[in-house]
Amino acid sequence: MNNILDKGSLESLRRMIADSDRIVLTGHVRPDGDAVGSTLGLWHLLTRLGKRASVVMPDQPPRSLAFMPGFKEVSVFTRHEDFCRRLIGEADLIICCDFNKPSRQDSLGPVVAEADCRKVMIDHHQDPDAFCDLTFSYPDMSSTCELMFRIIAGMGYYMEMNLESATCLATGLITDTRNFTVNCRNPEVYEVLMHLLEKGVDKERIVREALLAQSMDSLKLHAYAIMEKLEIVEPMRAAIITINSEELARFHYERGDSEGLVNKPLNVRGIVSSFFLREDDDCIKVSARSVDNFPVSEVCERLFGGGGHRQAAGAEFHGTLEECRRMLIEALPSFKHYLPHKLDKLEY
Ligand code: MN
């Protein structure tokens, strides 16, 4: 495996860890497999090295990640704010994983940003803010977990990485690449996976738990959304699904139930982008995915002030569901030049 990480930065991080006793690991709001995997993956190692490490998340991670070793150790800011503030206040070092700016942590953001200790960022999103003393930003990597594996190995702690740590890191690698279907062109991604499997990771279980498992209500919500609520903007090869709160209630919606739905229309040959608009308590949640390098991050940013990765992005819109849908449909043609020159026939 090529050593693409900066030697000096690795040594700085190794020293910062060695010099710290209390270390807080933290991730982005609505923590996903990569945020929880990278923080817990490192947490297992630091605990093994005798550090008083803790994981603090802005809000509750989804139930689909509850199988991860150490999941119960995660402290949730919206649930135990005082406790989380104390952990951060007492920390010698804070390591920010899988996010690039304090706003990605909602109300936890300012608490972390203003904490009076050294901070490190370990992340793979573009354009990181400069709020950390040491920044590992590698937007070309599949996942923060891939980066975390490389950092741990690069600091010379591969032997200390146990099965628990490897399981957490593999979870982020698997969820961010959707079980190696996106962001996995670099052959070294599979070398990282190989090393994790060598640690004894049960990949099949991770795929089942973190990617596939859903409730019957969730399955039916997906079926309904595709049957009744999917529209195609044909000239733009875009799919749009809108779901209002009344429909969500009908399927006893719980957070995470619509996970993966936005990807489904992309299975149809000829569809280039897919947008899922869901009515939430105080806003419309926009989630967008694409193939053929169509920049949904730019769509989300320009229309709604959101962002993300080029082929996987999101935003929040303040207004009605119908306004959001109209805005999207009206603005999409201005992104037409990004469509591939040779379009597949749209297969209905
Ligand atoms: Mn990630």
Cα 11 to ligand 1 centre (Å)? 24
Cα 125 to ligand 1 centre (Å)? 8
Cα 101 to ligand 1 centre (Å)? 13
pLDDT in tens, 39-73: 999 999 999 999 999 999 999 999 999 999 999 99
pLDDT in tens, 167-217: 999 999 999 999 999 889 999 999 999 999 999 999 999 999 999 999 999
| pTM summary value | 0.90
Cα 139 to ligand 1 centre (Å)? 10
CA distance 190 to 2: 13
pLDDT at position 342? 82
Cα 166 to ligand 1 centre (Å)? 16
Q: What is the mean pLDDT of each run of 10 residues along the chain (348 residues)?
A: 89 98 97 98 98 98 96 98 98 98 96 97 95 96 97 97 98 96 94 98 98 96 98 97 98 93 95 98 96 96 93 96 98 96 76
pLDDT at position 4? 87
pLDDT at position 144? 98
pLDDT at position 178? 93
Cα 322 to ligand 1 centre (Å)? 30
Cα 295 to ligand 1 centre (Å)? 17
Cα 178 to ligand 1 centre (Å)? 11
Cα 74 to ligand 1 centre (Å)? 18
Cα 204 to ligand 1 centre (Å)? 20
Cα 172 to ligand 1 centre (Å)? 7
Cα 226 to ligand 1 centre (Å)? 27
pLDDT at position 341? 86
Cα 235 to ligand 1 centre (Å)? 31
Cα 38 to ligand 1 centre (Å)? 9
Cα 93 to ligand 1 centre (Å)? 22
Cα 145 to ligand 1 centre (Å)? 8
Cα 97 to ligand 1 centre (Å)? 9
Structure tokens at 101: 């700016």
Ion ligand 1 — residues with CB < 5 Å: 34, 98, 144, 176
Cα 34 to ligand 1 centre (Å)? 5
